[in-house]
């Protein structure tokens, strides 16, 4: 593997739990590593407690993010805030370009760029959800947050397909028996889903949202354009989440058959492109902090071993 002078041994794009966990392992092994992050990951904004991060009970996302960063920096990892807009080259000398004209070089790459989530829109604008997402009672991921609705009246807000929203509501009925579904866009429910909703006494409402009614960061009701007010104690959004695959695609990394995530070649996070690994939500699996950390860690171990093998082999 040839490599450019002054280059990093590894550049990690994405400084969420996957990228920072990878940085921690590589930093511990004295690798020259740079983490580039534009700080739009969910944990930067998550003020509610996360209950399922092993060893870290009741941790707030924002605090976890800060701890990971501090640990990585203490191990010598360089972390910068920047937006990577393009990547080219090959193993030994990948070239990354930032939106402000920066250029970085690396022997190996880890892409941990996460997913983009779709929020329900309020008069066509998705931004009103930011006030509540990750801050109170507006949830997105049943794997992480379904137990939060125990004993609470819950409104599932469908912002993707109607069948997906119905599936989420039916799945959530394990945790609560007062659930309704609001279909804001697609309304085409299959007969099978309609029958299952009816059997579980889950009412379906259709309509576009005109207002999110809340007190500080707690959502209290969703107001529809026809004036209907749907109150609930908890709200769950059903919407697509698409991996930020742009850089992976530029490098020719294989994309999963769903078209939404970067496909690793094995559970180690290696890809079809030599020298490129993927980790975290960018991979096709559930979105969860512990999974992001685990996949970030395994990728970093593999990268370190790969670099060591190249070092042992010599120039």
Ligand X SMILES: Cc1cc2nc3c(=O)[nH]c(=O)nc-3n(C[C@H](O)[C@H](O)[C@H](O)COP(=O)(O)OP(=O)(O)OC[C@H]3O[C@@H](n4cnc5c(N)ncnc54)[C@H](O)[C@@H]3O)c2cc1C
Q: Which residues bind ligand X (CB under 6 A)?
A: 13-19, 36-43, 46, 50, 52-53, 83-84, 112-114, 117, 133-134, 140-141, 144-145, 244, 247, 280-281, 287-290, 292
Query: Quick one: 57 or 225, whose CB is closer to ligand X?
Result: 57
Query: Quick one: 133 or 230, whose CB is closer to ligand X?
Result: 133
Taking the complex as a whole, how short is the minimal distance between the CB of residue 180 and ligand X, in angstroms? 21
Taking the complex as a whole, how short is the minimal distance between the CB of residue 245 and ligand X, in angstroms? 10
Query: Quick one: 72 or 204, whose CB is closer to ligand X?
Result: 72
Query: Quick one: 129 or 310, whose CB is closer to ligand X?
Result: 129
Q: How far is CA 208 from CA 128, 139, 211, 212, 314, in A?
A: 14, 19, 9, 11, 63
Taking the complex as a whole, how short is the minimal distance between the CB of residue 13 and ligand X, in angstroms? 5
Taking the complex as a whole, how short is the minimal distance between the CB of residue 23 and ligand X, in angstroms? 11
Query: Quick one: 38 or 152, whose CB is closer to ligand X?
Result: 38
Taking the complex as a whole, how short is the minimal distance between the CB of residue 242 and ligand X, in angstroms? 12
Taking the complex as a whole, how short is the minimal distance between the CB of residue 221 and ligand X, in angstroms? 19
Query: Quick one: 244 or 306, whose CB is closer to ligand X?
Result: 244
């Amino acid at each position: 593997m040839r490599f450019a002078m002054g280059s990093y041994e590894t550049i990690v794009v994405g400084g969420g739990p996957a990228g920072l966990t990878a940085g921690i392992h590589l930093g511990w092994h004295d690798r020259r590593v740079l983490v580039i992050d534009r700080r739009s990951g969910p944990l930067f904004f998550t003020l509610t407690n996360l209950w399922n991060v092993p060893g870290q009970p009741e941790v707030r996302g924002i605090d976890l993010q800060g701890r990971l960063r501090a640990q990585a920096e203490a191990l010598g990892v360089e972390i910068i805030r920047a937006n990577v807009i393009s990547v080219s080259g090959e193993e030994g000398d990948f070239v990354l370009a930032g939106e402000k004209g920066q250029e970085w070089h690396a022997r190996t790459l880890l892409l941990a760029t996460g997913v983009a989530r779709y929020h329900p829109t309020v008069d066509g604008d998705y931004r009103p959800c930011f006030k509540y997402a990750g801050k109170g009672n507006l949830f997105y991921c049943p794997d992480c947050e379904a137990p939060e609705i125990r004993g609470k009246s819950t409104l599932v807000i469908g912002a993707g397909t109607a069948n997906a929203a119905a599936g989420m509501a039916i799945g959530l009925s394990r945790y609560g028996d007062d659930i309704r579904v609001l279909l804001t866009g697609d309304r085409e429910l299959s007969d099978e889903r309609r029958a299952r909703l009816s059997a579980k006494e889950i009412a379906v409402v259709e309509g576009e949202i005109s207002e999110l009614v809340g007190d500080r960061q707690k959502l209290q009701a969703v107001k529809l354009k026809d004036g209907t007010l749907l109150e609930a104690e908890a709200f769950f959004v059903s919407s697509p989440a698409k991996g930020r695959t742009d850089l992976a695609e530029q490098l020719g990394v294989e994309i999963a058959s769903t078209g939404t995530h970067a496909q690793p070649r094995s559970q180690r996070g290696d890809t079809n492109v030599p020298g490129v690994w993927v980790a975290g939500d960018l991979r096709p699996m559930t979105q969860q902090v512990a999974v992001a950390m685990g996949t970030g860690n395994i990728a970093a171990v593999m990268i370190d071993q790969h670099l060591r093998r190249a070092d042992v082999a010599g120039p």
